[in-house]
Structure 1
Amino acid sequence: MTTPAGQPASTERVCFELRVRPELLDEYVARHRSVPPAMLREIAASGRRNYTIFLRPDGLLVGYFETDDLAASEDYLARSPVATAWERDSARFFADLEGRPDQGLTKLRQVFQLEEQLESEGVHDD
Protein backbone atom coordinates (compact mmCIF):
# COMPACT_ATOMS: atom_id res chain seq x y z
CA MET A 1 0.00 0.00 0.00
CA THR A 2 1.23 3.51 -0.77
CA THR A 3 0.20 6.96 0.40
CA PRO A 4 -1.24 9.56 -2.01
CA ALA A 5 2.28 10.96 -2.35
CA GLY A 6 3.46 7.55 -3.61
CA GLN A 7 5.41 6.66 -0.46
CA PRO A 8 5.24 3.23 1.19
CA ALA A 9 2.61 3.26 3.95
CA SER A 10 5.31 2.56 6.56
CA THR A 11 7.42 5.59 5.64
CA GLU A 12 8.55 7.65 8.60
CA ARG A 13 9.34 11.29 7.95
CA VAL A 14 12.22 12.48 10.11
CA CYS A 15 12.94 16.17 10.55
CA PHE A 16 15.74 17.32 12.81
CA GLU A 17 17.75 20.35 13.81
CA LEU A 18 21.33 21.03 14.72
CA ARG A 19 23.31 24.23 15.16
CA VAL A 20 26.33 24.86 12.91
CA ARG A 21 29.00 27.09 14.42
CA PRO A 22 28.67 30.48 12.65
CA GLU A 23 32.41 30.75 12.00
CA LEU A 24 32.32 27.39 10.15
CA LEU A 25 29.24 27.95 7.96
CA ASP A 26 31.12 28.44 4.69
CA GLU A 27 33.28 25.39 5.30
CA TYR A 28 30.22 23.31 6.23
CA VAL A 29 28.43 24.30 3.02
CA ALA A 30 31.54 23.60 0.93
CA ARG A 31 31.91 20.16 2.55
CA HIS A 32 28.38 19.27 1.49
CA ARG A 33 28.74 20.38 -2.14
CA SER A 34 30.54 17.14 -2.87
CA VAL A 35 29.94 14.46 -0.26
CA PRO A 36 32.19 11.45 -0.93
CA PRO A 37 30.41 8.79 -3.00
CA ALA A 38 31.09 6.14 -0.32
CA MET A 39 29.19 8.23 2.22
CA LEU A 40 26.32 8.84 -0.19
CA ARG A 41 26.08 5.08 -0.73
CA GLU A 42 26.05 4.42 3.02
CA ILE A 43 23.22 6.90 3.59
CA ALA A 44 21.19 5.20 0.85
CA ALA A 45 22.11 1.71 2.09
CA SER A 46 20.87 2.66 5.57
CA GLY A 47 17.40 3.11 4.09
CA ARG A 48 17.25 6.90 4.09
CA ARG A 49 15.58 8.59 1.14
CA ASN A 50 14.88 12.17 0.16
CA TYR A 51 17.61 13.33 2.57
CA THR A 52 17.69 17.12 2.51
CA ILE A 53 19.51 19.72 4.61
CA PHE A 54 18.52 23.38 4.96
CA LEU A 55 20.73 25.99 6.63
CA ARG A 56 19.92 29.47 7.90
CA PRO A 57 22.60 32.21 7.88
CA ASP A 58 22.71 32.09 11.70
CA GLY A 59 23.68 28.40 11.66
CA LEU A 60 20.32 26.75 12.34
CA LEU A 61 20.34 23.52 10.35
CA VAL A 62 17.12 21.68 9.60
CA GLY A 63 17.36 18.28 8.00
CA TYR A 64 14.76 15.92 6.59
CA PHE A 65 14.71 12.34 5.37
CA GLU A 66 12.31 9.46 4.96
CA THR A 67 12.89 5.88 6.03
CA ASP A 68 10.90 2.70 6.55
CA ASP A 69 12.80 1.76 9.74
CA LEU A 70 14.54 4.54 11.65
CA ALA A 71 16.09 2.23 14.26
CA ALA A 72 17.59 -0.01 11.57
CA SER A 73 18.89 3.03 9.67
CA GLU A 74 20.51 4.46 12.80
CA ASP A 75 22.03 1.07 13.66
CA TYR A 76 23.42 0.63 10.15
CA LEU A 77 25.11 4.04 10.19
CA ALA A 78 26.43 3.54 13.74
CA ARG A 79 28.21 0.35 12.57
CA SER A 80 29.47 1.80 9.28
CA PRO A 81 33.20 2.69 9.26
CA VAL A 82 32.53 5.18 6.45
CA ALA A 83 29.74 6.95 8.37
CA THR A 84 31.77 6.84 11.59
CA ALA A 85 34.67 8.65 9.90
CA TRP A 86 32.36 11.21 8.25
CA GLU A 87 30.58 11.92 11.54
CA ARG A 88 33.86 12.15 13.45
CA ASP A 89 35.14 14.71 10.96
CA SER A 90 31.81 16.58 10.97
CA ALA A 91 31.38 16.88 14.74
CA ARG A 92 33.52 20.03 14.98
CA PHE A 93 31.00 21.98 12.88
CA PHE A 94 28.25 21.73 15.48
CA ALA A 95 27.61 23.76 18.62
CA ASP A 96 26.06 22.20 21.72
CA LEU A 97 26.49 18.66 20.51
CA GLU A 98 27.81 15.66 22.37
CA GLY A 99 28.70 12.60 20.35
CA ARG A 100 28.10 12.02 16.68
CA PRO A 101 25.85 14.48 14.81
CA ASP A 102 23.64 11.68 13.49
CA GLN A 103 23.02 10.53 17.07
CA GLY A 104 22.87 13.90 18.84
CA LEU A 105 20.38 15.65 16.60
CA THR A 106 17.13 17.08 17.94
CA LYS A 107 14.23 15.32 16.24
CA LEU A 108 11.23 17.56 15.50
CA ARG A 109 7.64 16.42 15.91
CA GLN A 110 5.49 16.36 12.78
CA VAL A 111 2.26 18.30 13.32
CA PHE A 112 0.88 18.57 9.77
CA GLN A 113 1.19 16.66 6.51
CA LEU A 114 -0.98 17.74 3.58
CA GLU A 115 -1.47 14.40 1.83
CA GLU A 116 -2.42 12.62 5.06
CA GLN A 117 -5.11 15.19 5.83
CA LEU A 118 -6.42 15.23 2.28
CA GLU A 119 -6.75 11.44 2.41
CA SER A 120 -8.41 11.42 5.85
CA GLU A 121 -10.94 14.03 4.66
CA GLY A 122 -11.62 12.19 1.42
CA VAL A 123 -10.39 15.18 -0.60
CA HIS A 124 -9.07 14.22 -4.01
CA ASP A 125 -7.11 16.27 -6.51
CA ASP A 126 -9.30 15.86 -9.58
Structure 2
Amino acid sequence: MQRVCFLLRVRPERLIEYRARHTAVWPEMLAALTASGWHNYSLFLREDGLLVGYLETPDFDAARAAMAATDVNARWQAEMADFFEDLDGRGPDEEMRPLTEVFHLA
Protein backbone atom coordinates (compact mmCIF):
# COMPACT_ATOMS: atom_id res chain seq x y z
CA MET A 1 0.00 0.00 0.00
CA GLN A 2 1.37 3.40 -0.97
CA ARG A 3 1.11 6.18 1.63
CA VAL A 4 0.70 9.58 -0.05
CA CYS A 5 0.95 13.01 1.55
CA PHE A 6 0.52 16.28 -0.34
CA LEU A 7 0.24 20.02 0.35
CA LEU A 8 -2.04 22.68 -1.09
CA ARG A 9 -2.88 26.19 0.09
CA VAL A 10 -6.47 27.32 0.68
CA ARG A 11 -7.16 31.03 0.32
CA PRO A 12 -7.41 32.45 3.88
CA GLU A 13 -10.63 34.30 3.07
CA ARG A 14 -12.24 30.99 2.00
CA LEU A 15 -11.28 28.82 5.00
CA ILE A 16 -14.70 28.81 6.65
CA GLU A 17 -16.50 27.88 3.44
CA TYR A 18 -13.86 25.25 2.59
CA ARG A 19 -14.41 23.57 5.97
CA ALA A 20 -18.18 23.74 5.50
CA ARG A 21 -17.98 22.10 2.06
CA HIS A 22 -16.09 19.20 3.55
CA THR A 23 -18.71 18.53 6.20
CA ALA A 24 -21.07 17.60 3.36
CA VAL A 25 -19.01 16.00 0.59
CA TRP A 26 -21.33 14.66 -2.08
CA PRO A 27 -22.14 10.96 -1.55
CA GLU A 28 -21.29 10.23 -5.20
CA MET A 29 -17.85 11.83 -4.69
CA LEU A 30 -17.22 9.67 -1.64
CA ALA A 31 -18.28 6.57 -3.58
CA ALA A 32 -16.02 7.49 -6.52
CA LEU A 33 -13.01 7.97 -4.23
CA THR A 34 -13.58 4.59 -2.62
CA ALA A 35 -14.14 2.84 -5.96
CA SER A 36 -10.98 4.48 -7.35
CA GLY A 37 -8.78 3.06 -4.61
CA TRP A 38 -8.49 6.00 -2.21
CA HIS A 39 -8.31 4.65 1.34
CA ASN A 40 -7.79 6.27 4.74
CA TYR A 41 -8.03 9.69 3.03
CA SER A 42 -7.75 12.68 5.37
CA LEU A 43 -7.39 16.43 4.95
CA PHE A 44 -5.87 18.64 7.64
CA LEU A 45 -6.21 22.43 7.47
CA ARG A 46 -4.07 24.94 9.33
CA GLU A 47 -5.42 28.42 10.19
CA ASP A 48 -3.16 30.09 7.61
CA GLY A 49 -4.60 27.94 4.80
CA LEU A 50 -1.99 25.21 4.60
CA LEU A 51 -3.81 22.02 3.62
CA VAL A 52 -2.19 18.65 4.22
CA GLY A 53 -3.73 15.65 2.51
CA TYR A 54 -3.00 12.01 3.31
CA LEU A 55 -4.23 8.83 1.69
CA GLU A 56 -3.32 5.21 1.20
CA THR A 57 -3.71 3.44 -2.12
CA PRO A 58 -2.24 0.48 -3.98
CA ASP A 59 -1.18 2.78 -6.87
CA PHE A 60 -1.47 6.58 -6.64
CA ASP A 61 -1.16 7.19 -10.37
CA ALA A 62 -3.92 4.66 -11.08
CA ALA A 63 -6.12 6.10 -8.31
CA ARG A 64 -5.72 9.63 -9.71
CA ALA A 65 -6.44 8.44 -13.25
CA ALA A 66 -9.55 6.58 -12.11
CA MET A 67 -10.86 9.72 -10.39
CA ALA A 68 -10.00 11.89 -13.40
CA ALA A 69 -12.22 9.65 -15.52
CA THR A 70 -15.32 10.33 -13.41
CA ASP A 71 -17.89 13.03 -14.07
CA VAL A 72 -18.37 13.70 -10.36
CA ASN A 73 -14.68 14.50 -9.92
CA ALA A 74 -14.76 17.00 -12.78
CA ARG A 75 -17.74 18.74 -11.17
CA TRP A 76 -16.16 18.71 -7.68
CA GLN A 77 -12.81 20.03 -8.93
CA ALA A 78 -14.52 22.82 -10.87
CA GLU A 79 -16.39 23.91 -7.73
CA MET A 80 -13.32 23.69 -5.49
CA ALA A 81 -10.70 25.31 -7.74
CA ASP A 82 -11.40 28.88 -6.55
CA PHE A 83 -10.65 27.90 -2.96
CA PHE A 84 -6.95 27.38 -3.69
CA GLU A 85 -3.94 29.62 -4.24
CA ASP A 86 -1.30 29.14 -6.93
CA LEU A 87 -3.03 26.63 -9.20
CA ASP A 88 -1.97 28.44 -12.39
CA GLY A 89 -5.07 27.30 -14.26
CA ARG A 90 -4.79 23.69 -13.14
CA GLY A 91 -7.28 21.86 -10.94
CA PRO A 92 -6.53 21.07 -7.30
CA ASP A 93 -6.28 17.38 -8.16
CA GLU A 94 -3.57 18.17 -10.72
CA GLU A 95 -1.54 20.07 -8.11
CA MET A 96 -1.41 17.15 -5.68
CA ARG A 97 2.31 16.44 -5.74
CA PRO A 98 3.28 13.75 -3.27
CA LEU A 99 5.89 14.55 -0.66
CA THR A 100 8.80 12.13 -0.33
CA GLU A 101 8.43 9.89 2.68
CA VAL A 102 11.63 9.88 4.71
CA PHE A 103 10.49 7.92 7.78
CA HIS A 104 7.67 5.59 8.78
CA LEU A 105 7.22 3.87 12.14
CA ALA A 106 5.53 0.59 11.35
User: Does 2:101 align with 1:110?
Assistant: yes
Between the aligned residues of both structures, percent identity stands at 50
User: Amino acid of the residue matched to residue 46 of structure 1?
Assistant: S
For residues 64 and 98 of structure 2, the distance between their equivalents in structure 1, rounded to whole angstroms, comes to: 13
State how far apart, in whole Å, the 2-side matches of 1:28 and 1:56 are.
12
1:121 corresponds to which residue? none
Amino acid at match of 1:83: N
5 Å-filtered alignment, 1:85-100, equals: 85-98=75-88, 99-100=90-91
Name structure 1 gaps, 5 residues minimum. Answer: 1-10, 116-126
Secondary structure of the structure 2 residue equivalent to 1:58: coil
Count of paired positions: 105
Q: Name the CA distance, whole Å, in 2 between partners of 1:114 and 1:26.
A: 34
Matches within 5 A, 1:17-28: 17-28=7-18
Are positions 1:32 and 2:16 aligned together?
A: no
Give the superposition deviation at 1:93.
0.3
Q: Does 1:57 align with 2:47?
A: yes
Give the RMSD, CA atoms, in angstroms. 0.8
- Higher relative CO (Cα under 8 Å, sequence separation at least 6) belongs to 2
- Give the TM-score, by structure 2 length: 0.96
Give the Å deviation of 1:15. 0.1
Supply the AA of the counterpart residue of 1:53: L
Pairwise CA distance, 1:105: 2.0
Q: Unpaired segments of 5 or more residues in structure 2?
A: none
How high is the TM-score relative to the length of structure 1? 0.81
Which one has the largest radius of gyration?
A: 1
